[in-house]
Amino acid sequence: MGQRSVEKFLFRDEVELYDLKQDPDEVINLACQPEYQELRKELSEKLLKHLKQTDDLWLKQYTLPISCAAETEEQVAEYQPLFNGRDLTGWTLKRANRKGYHVEEGKLVCPSDGGGFLFTEKEYGDFSLKFDFKLTKAANNGIAIRCPLVDQKPAYEGMEIQVLDNKGYPKKLKPTQYHGSVYDMIPAKRGALKPVGEWNHEEIICRGSKITVIVNDIPVLQTDLSDIKDEQVLARHPGLRNQRGHIGLLGHGSHVEYKNIRIKEF
């Protein structure tokens, strides 16, 4: 697969255009970049002509050229916003003694003197959750999934996907505490995070017992919870059996910012 992420290899873009001299591993898709639209149109028209000449069955389902705008609108329409960028409508705060979160310039901010557990009012089962986040040095937060509305132990009563500055965190970390890990359970691969202060993009996919975490187009965790058979582990983490629950931001007294939080249910 060269340098292409697993997600990009398995779930390919509908239209692909690559500069094979500069990008022989086909990592950067140029199909929707404005400066390549004339070339894309030219190649699409050549392909369409060839398909018509050969009476290709592909034309019974698709037409060419495919519009970038239509493709983008369709993709966006599949996801519903969890955060409106203005206020905390649709969210509820637990463990409020940590002063909570606030909205600032379209961002959902966990301040260094705030935090607590900010949960969605709605419950979710199988979904794709996408969001952007920005860390500060030594920042520690988390994403609760399939979690009940609790004031304590959301990583155990539900599950917590770690949000953490791997390099700047001052304490020694266990493998299951690094960013993207299922906290205290399943370690994530490292190396996908951008430097502190830059925006990262993450997707968390839950389908039945399978959980995938993708950070900046790099899969850092792919696991199947049904493989966990140890009864002591299951007793300590009852949330592993949850089929539905709330999504939450788990603040631990450090500054973390979120935006573009959206979800698609399966």
- Written as tens digits, the pLDDT of the chain (266 aa) is 456 667 677 777 778 898 898 778 787 788 887 778 889 889 988 988 898 888 887 776 666 666 665 545 555 568 999 999 999 999 999 976 667 899 999 999 999 988 899 999 999 999 999 999 999 999 999 999 999 999 999 999 999 999 999 999 999 999 999 999 999 999 999 989 999 999 999 999 999 999 999 898 888 898 999 999 999 999 999 999 999 999 999 998 899 999 999 999 98
Question: How many other CB atoms are found less than 10 A from the CB of residue 151?
Answer: 11
Burial code of 245-256, b = ≥16 C-beta within 10 A, e = fewer?
A: bbbbbbbebbbb
Opening angle at CA 39, ends 34 and 43, nearest 5:
135
Burial code of 188-214, b = ≥16 C-beta within 10 A, e = fewer?
A: bbeebbeeeeeebebbbbbeeeebbbb
Opening angle at CA 213, ends 124 and 101, nearest 5:
60
Predicted TM-score (pTM) of the model is 0.74
Please give the pLDDT value at position 56. 83
Give the pairing of strands 159-164 and 140-147.
Answer: antiparallel
Which of 120, 92, 159, 84 has the alpha carbon at shortest distance from 265? 120
Q: Where are the beta strands (DSSP E) in the chain?
A: 80-81, 91-94, 102-104, 107-110, 116-124, 127-135, 140-147, 159-164, 199-207, 210-215, 218-224, 245-251, 256-265
Which of 172, 145, 174 has the alpha carbon at shortest distance from 245? 145
Question: Containing H/E element for 7?
Answer: helix 6-10
Strand partners, 186: 182
